[in-house]
A and B are shown apart, each in its own frame.
Chain A
Amino acid sequence: MKTPVSVLRLPRGPDPNSRGFDPSSPRFLALCPTSVPSSSSSSSDEEEQRLRAELRERFLRTLLLMTGKRVRFDMHEHVRVHARFGASDIDVLNLQVSDLETPLGVQREALLRCQDVIACSFEV
């Protein structure tokens, strides 16, 4: 196992929170769904809600299964990295991972933006 690299302290970007994680940044607000689009007819509201709940529960179980496992992240420009999955936030905008293997070295803890990730795969 490669030794983790020390955390790089980069100079601050133009905005106070330029890494894209600031909840009040325009980027976050644009990506984060503040309202849920629903079907026009009100009679099927309950049915739609039930389907949403079922889909979301299954997805949460997927995340549960993924925790602690070594996951391969496929990102843009055919970049592939491996890391140990930790958690996701509620809107699936950021993923917390440990021991992220990068060309720079192994980052002990890291936060991946979901906009950068195309797919994650793991063995059960």
Chain B
Amino acid sequence: MLQWIHRSPQHWHGFINHEVCVTNRDQQRFEGRVFTVDPVSASVVLVSVQENECPSVRVILGHAVTDVQILRRGTEETERQMKSVFLPDRAQDLSAEELKSRRESVRLWLEKNRVPVTEDGELLCVANALTISAPYRPGDCSSASEIILSRIQSLVEKLPSPEENIPGHQAQLSRSNITSVLQTQ
């Protein structure tokens, strides 16, 4: 019988979203719904399933796990509830028109600050180095370059709210600043 830490990712993945009982070497038992199993350390992340309390999360380190038994299978509803604890607010909260207008305002703000940006469906592509996905908050920027990421993130953070968006609003970054940022990648 293989040890827990030597199991395959497929085996670990099979436990996600199900209520399990994890036993450790001291015969202690931990119960909860599996959110994930870390492939590096085989640590099991359990979320409590009680309805009326605020959710609590327990991470059991892989080296301490001896056995994991499924008690109850989860459903799509339980998966959704569990995900809402961990993942940031979903973009589906905003309607299509709101997303479009938000995308437009972010794009105009970037263009005003001399940042080359193109639209690619629902994504905003900045200078082929960074993409912003819905709902276009600073946390939705992804890039391979740390420097570009931090510059664009702080820029998106400074996006003025609709009341402040007057035509003469000062751009945050000068042209030379932007070109030097994009050349460092």
Contact = CB atoms under 8 A, between A and B. Distances in A.
**A and B bind:** yes
Interface of A: 33, 36-37, 39, 47-48, 51-52, 54-56, 58-59, 61-62, 65-66, 90-93, 114-115, 117-124
Contacts of A119: 24, 30, 58-61, 64
Interface string B38-66: 11110101000000001111111101100
A121 B58 contact: yes
A71 to B, nearest CB: 9
Interface of B: 6, 8-10, 12-13, 24, 26, 28, 30, 35-41, 43, 45, 54-61, 63-64, 85-87
Given A48-B8, A58-B35, A92-B40, A114 B86 contact: no
Contacts, number: 94
A48 to B, nearest CB: 6
Contact of B9 (A55, A66, A91): A55
Contacts of A118: 24, 26, 28, 60-61, 64
Contacts of A62: 35-36, 45, 57, 59, 86
Contact of A61 (B12, B61, B86): B86
5 contacts: A47-B10, A92-B40, A92-B41, A119-B58, A121-B56
B40 A56 contact: yes
Given A62-B36, A65-B86, A92-B43, A117 B61 contact: yes
A5 B45 CA distance: 33
Nearest to A76: B26
A54 B85 CA distance: 17
A120 B40 CA distance: 17
A123 B43 CA distance: 18
A62 B43 CA distance: 11
B62 to A, nearest CB: 8
Contacts of A54: 13
A124 B56 contact: yes
B12 A59 contact: no
A113 to B, nearest CB: 10
A55 B8 contact: no
B36 A59 contact: yes
Contacts of A117: 61
Given A59-B38, A59-B43, A92-B38, A120 B58 contact: yes
Contacts of A115: 63
Contacts of B13: 51, 54-55
B58 A124 contact: no
Nearest to A51: B9
Contacts of B60: 118-119
